[in-house]
Structure 1
Amino acid sequence: MKEIDIQGMTPAHLPQVAELSVATEQVKFVGTMEELLVNIDDKLHPHVILDGNTVVGFFLIDTQYGHRYDFAHPEALGLRAFFIDHHHQGKGYAKRAVLALKAFLLSAYPGFDQIYLTVNCKNPAARHCYQQGGFIDTHELYLGGAAGPQHIMRMVL
């Protein structure tokens, strides 16, 4: 199994990133690339998951997550819109990316000591993947999501 790489998205990645998508039934959990890309700013950083030179996934790191959500520690990062392109799902990329996330964040965001995410209660496979990668379920629910209740998870960096 090849090693994946996580990098901050650059303009060179954009042609491949623009082609990423999830299955129709997953859009409610993640959104579309168009919706995700318009939200990028100096506090919401786009990242790519690579297999060699091929972009297989995408996620956002929210540096203001702890200030946006009461359930998160004020100085915490947030993992948002994490997904693997539907053409590449089922190949272990999500699990490997989540396992690699801690080391990447320690290097890229040294001023932060934890990261939070929410995962829809209707998405047990994603919840399991995050748990395998070191996230712990806080046993609290976030009820403000558009697609229903979400488990709140966090990982100490």
Structure 2
Amino acid sequence: MIRIEKMTTKHVGRVIDLKVLPEQQRFVGPVVDILALVNAQIRPYIICDQDEIVGFFILDTVFSQSHDFADIHDLGLRKFFIDQAYQGKGFARQALQCLDDHLVEEYARYKHIFLTVNCLNTAAKACYEKAGFKDTQTLYEGGPSGPQHIMIKSF
């Protein structure tokens, strides 16, 4: 059973050990760099299958400050990934379903969640679409690996 929970310092060692496939690395970046983004407004979460950490993401409560297509009542889903050893087992889809309930409970003052996904990362885009994210049909050009689809979901 997949669940999401807030990452704490006790999880850091296991989170740093998470890896994506080499061809996915350009879309995610090094985990230590991701953890450097974390602060009171950019919050880390782990994706767990029983006692195993199988993935990670951050929720950005100030996403609109760095993305002009979002407003103050919008969250950003960033750096979402599943460890390479657990990919292809439906964990991403299940985690995104768990996220819906979490957002309603913990982030009720927000209206939407945005994400950007690299145009070359077709598998991730398809996964987000299956989870209810809609492509806005506009591109974000500020990504480090090229243009990205802007996707949105209401909650």
Q: TM-score of the superposition, structure 1-length normalised?
A: 0.95
Structure 2 counterpart SS, 1:130: helix
Q: What displacement does 1:68 show?
A: 1.7
Structure 2 counterpart SS, 1:59: strand
Q: What displacement does 1:74 show?
A: 2.5
Structure 1 counterpart SS, 2:94: helix
Identity of aligned residues (%): 44
Q: 1:126 aligns with which of 124, 127, 134?
A: 124
| Maintained 8 Å contact 1:98/1:129 | no
| Residue aligning to 2:12 | 14
1:100 aligns with 2:102: no
Q: 2:148 aligns with which of 143, 147, 150?
A: 150
1:8-157 equivalences under 5 Å are 8-157=6-155
| Maintained 8 Å contact 1:67/1:75 | no
Q: Which moved more, 1:106-115 or 1:46-55?
A: 106-115
**In structure 1, what is the Cα distance between the partners aligned to 2:46 and 2:5?**
5
Q: Which moved more, 1:142-151 or 1:101-110?
A: 101-110
Structure 2 counterpart SS, 1:118: strand
Q: TM-score of the superposition, structure 2-length normalised?
A: 0.96
**In structure 2, what is the Cα distance between the partners aligned to 1:93 and 1:154?**
20
Aligned residues: 155
| Maintained 8 Å contact 1:21/1:86 | yes
**In structure 2, what is the Cα distance between the partners aligned to 1:38 and 1:72?**
23
The alignment's C-alpha RMSD in Å is: 0.9
Q: What displacement does 1:79 show?
A: 0.3
Structure 1 counterpart SS, 2:38: coil
The runs of 5 or more residues in structure 2 that have no matched partner are none
**Counterpart residue type for residue 9 of structure 1:** M
Greater than 6 Å deviation, 4+ residue runs: none
- For residues 24-63 of structure 1, the C-alpha deviation after alignment (integer angstroms, 9 at most, x for no partner) is 1111101111111111111110000000111000000000
